[in-house]
Amino acid sequence: MELILSLGIGVLAGSGVWLLLRPRTFQVIIGLCLLSYAVNLFIFSTGGLRTGAAAILQRGEVGTLADYADPLPQALALTAIVISFATTALLLVVLLASRGLTGTDHVDGRERNR
């Protein structure tokens, strides 16, 4: 399970960085989204991957806290999702304004001569 999660985080992060280096602004926005998904998965995985364990401690249940997932990374991942959604919305508004002013969707505002 850890290997699959690590590979998923690596693929998302690598694809996100690759798209961040592209010349078009829409590709940059998609790259930021993929990178934020990778970070969210990483933060979520720091809480511990527990399968078959209850999410909430029951009254009178015997066990150690090491048997349960840490809720703090889950709260941090939820906060990061909200922040990344707001950042994506802001970037889309800036993209539309830039496209209206320059007439192109390139990051530097200039089309390549072909």
Q: How confident is the model at residue 90 (pLDDT cuts 50, 70, 90)?
A: very high
Helix (H) or strand (E) holding 100: helix 71-102
> 49, 1 in Cβ contact below 8 A?
yes
Token pair, residue 96, equals 């539309």
> 40, 12 in Cβ contact below 8 A?
no
Q: Which structural domains are found in the chain, ordered by start? A: 2-49+68-102 (1.10.287)
Could you tell me which residues are beta bridge partners of residue 24? 106
Read off the pTM.
0.74
> 20, 32 in Cβ contact below 8 A?
yes
pLDDT tens digits for range 98-114: 888 888 888 776 776 65
What is the C-alpha separation between 89 and 86, in angstroms, rounded?
A: 5
